[in-house]
Structure 1
């Protein structure tokens, strides 16, 4: 079972990216941007979530909770299928969660 966590890499007084990280069994630590951002003063390092009652901050927490559950399910599916879990896999899963799909240039498709 992988422990999924979140952190900020910057303490600048502006909105900074929230990073997701986890270590799957027998693997290295994987980390990448979630696409979400928050001001560091609104972030709880211990809880790895935003703090405060602002509806926007609560929405970020809900999104992070849903993302954690989604990643956990995808880890189980990929581990069962024998899929390599690496940073590229994590980025693909995050893009899938947020319904972002890679645009392919039709000029290069065969």
Structure 2
């Protein structure tokens, strides 16, 4: 895996505080989450209801889908409650300088 897989997603000052934002990274719809000082990334589309997770509610490390209230752990994309049964793809994130990078393979 090379450094060329790190894609510049957005400026670090555009990250919301303890919230979620949707961005396009290399043609993919990605949700970026900030929880405290950590930043996480997953696919932005719920695996159950095809809703955009950036329109959902972030509570700690859990994002709630705005459509059917299924929840995912933003750290690794695993489903936390029904009706969600399939996890989200998660992506490594790094903040360098004033930019946020997501690694897509």
Bigger share in helix: 1
Q: Which has the higher contact order (CA 8 A, sep 6+)?
A: 2
TM-score with structure 2 length normalisation?
Answer: 0.38
| Greater Rg by CA | 1
Bigger share in strand: 2
